[in-house]
A and B are shown apart, each in its own frame.
Chain A
Amino acid sequence: MATNQKKHEPPKELFVPHERKEDTSERITKPSRSFFQDARRTFFKNKSAVLSIILMIIIIIMSIFAPHFNEYGMDEQDLSRAKMPPKIPVIEDLPFFGMNGTLASEFKGDDVEEATKNAVMRYNNDEDFIDIEVLSEGDGSADSAEVAATYHIYEAKEMQDEYFWLGTDQLGRDQWTRIWLGTRVSLIIAFAAAAIDLLIGVAYGGISGYYGGRVDNVLQRILEILIGIPNLVVIFLLLIVLQPGIISIVLALTITGWTGMARIVRGEVLKQKNEEYVLAARTLGQSNGKIIRKHLMPNVAGIIIINTMFTIPNAIFFEAFLSFIGLGIVPPEASLGALVDSGFKVLRLYPYMVFYPAVLISVIMIAFNLIGDGLRDAFDPKMHK
Chain B
Amino acid sequence: MFRYILRRVLYMLITLFIIATITFFLMKLLPGSPLSAENKLSESQQEVILAKYGLDDPIPVQYVNYMAGLVQGDLGISFHFDNTPVTQILLDRMPPSLTLGMQALVFGTIAGILFGLIAAIYHNGWLDYTSTIIAVLGTSIPSFVFAGMLQWYFATKWELFPVALWGTYAHTVLPTIALAIFPMATAARFTRTEMLDVLGSDYITTARAKGVTEPGVIFKHGLRNSLIPLVTVMGPMAVSLMTGTLVIEKIFAVPGIGEQFVSSIEVLDYPTIMGTTLLFSVLFIVIILVIDILYVFIDPRIRLTGGGN
In contact, B151 and A366 (Cβ under 8 angstroms) = no
Binds B, one of A110-118, A194-202, A357-365: A357-365
Residue in B242, B261, B277 with the greatest tally of chain A CB atoms within 10 Å: B277
Beyond A230-B281, A325-B265, 15 extra complex contacts between A and B, CB < 8 Å: A232-B243, A233-B280, A240-B273, A317-B142, A321-B246, A324-B250, A325-B261, A337-B142, A344-B144, A347-B156, A362-B140, A362-B142, A365-B141, A365-B142, A366-B136
Stretch at the interface among B23-31, B54-62, B76-84, B92-100: B23-31
Most chain A CB inside 10 Å of its own CB: which residue of B30, B141, B151: B141
A344 pairs with B148, CB closer than 8 A: yes
Q: Check B277–A354 contact: CB distance below 8 A.
A: no
> Which of chain B's residues have a CB closer than 8 A to the CB of A321?
142, 144, 243, 246-247
Task: List residues of A whose CB falls within 8 A of some B CB.
Answer: 220, 224-225, 228-230, 232-233, 236-237, 240-241, 313, 317, 320-321, 324-327, 337, 340, 344, 347-348, 351, 354, 358, 361-362, 365-366, 368-370, 373
The complex places the Cα of A247 from the Cα of B13 at a distance, in Å, of 32
Residues in B whose Cβ lies below 8 Å from that of A370: 136
**A354 — which chain B residues lie within 8 A by C-beta?**
148
Tell me if B239 counts as interface (CB < 8 A to partner A): yes
B137-166, CB < 8 A from A: 137, 139-142, 144-145, 148, 151-152, 156
Question: Which residue in B29, B239, B281 is a CB contact (below 8 Å) of A241?
Answer: B29
Q: Mark B4-16, 1 if CB is under 8 A from A, else 0.
A: 0000000110010
A327 touching B265 in the complex, CB below 8 Å, given contacts A220-B308, A321-B144, A361-B142 = yes
- Inter-chain contacts of A241 with B (CB < 8 A): 26, 29-30
Give Cα A8–Cα B63 distance, bound, in whole angstroms: 109
Pair A366/B23 contact, Cβ less than 8 Å: no
Contact size range, B = 35 or more
A165 and B142 alpha carbons, distance in the complex (Å): 25
Task: Tell whether B114 is near chain A: CB-to-CB under 8 Å.
Answer: no
Within 8 Å CB of B15, what residues of A?
225, 228-229
Contacting residues, chain A, for B265 (C-beta < 8 A):
240, 325-327
**CB-CB nearest in chain A for B280:** A233
Q: Which residues of A contact B140 (CB under 8 A)?
A: 313, 362, 365-366, 368-369
**Interface flag for B299 (CB, 8 Å):** no
Cα distance A347–B273 in the bound complex, in angstroms = 28
Nearest B residue to A225, CB-CB:
B15
Query: What are 26 A-B pairs at a CB distance below 8 A?
Result: A228-B11, A229-B15, A230-B239, A230-B280, A230-B284, A232-B239, A233-B280, A233-B281, A236-B273, A237-B23, A237-B26, A240-B26, A240-B273, A313-B140, A317-B142, A320-B144, A324-B144, A324-B250, A340-B148, A348-B156, A358-B145, A362-B140, A362-B145, A365-B142, A366-B136, A369-B139
CA distance A241 to B284 in the complex (A): 22
Tell me if B242 and A232 are in contact (CB < 8 A).
yes
Does B49 sit at the interface, judged by CB under 8 A?
no
Find out whether the CB atom of A229 lies under 8 angstroms from the CB atom of B142: no
**How many angstroms between the C-alpha atoms of A321 and B242 in the bound complex?**
12
- Chain B residue with the shortest CB-CB distance to A316: B142
Complex alpha-carbon distance, A225 and B308, angstroms: 13
CA distance A317 to B141 in the complex (A): 9
Asked if A233 and B277 sit within 8 Å, CB to CB, the answer is: yes
| CB pair A366 B277 closer than 8 Å | no
Structural contact, A325 and B29, CB atoms closer than 8 A: no
B38 contacts the other chain (Cβ, under 8 Å)? no
- B285 contacts A by Cβ under 8 Å: yes
Q: A232-B242, A321-B247 are in contact. Are A358 and B137 (CB under 8 A)?
A: no
Instruction: Kindly state the separation between the CA atoms of A344 and B156 in the bound complex, as whole angstroms.
Output: 13
| Pair B148/A347 contact, Cβ less than 8 Å | yes
Q: Which 9 A-B pairs have the closest CB atoms?
A: A230-B284, A365-B140, A366-B140, A228-B15, A358-B145, A362-B141, A369-B140, A325-B262, A233-B281
The docked-state distance in angstroms from the alpha carbon of A228 to that of B285 is: 7
- A370 to B136: give the CA distance in the assembly, Å: 8
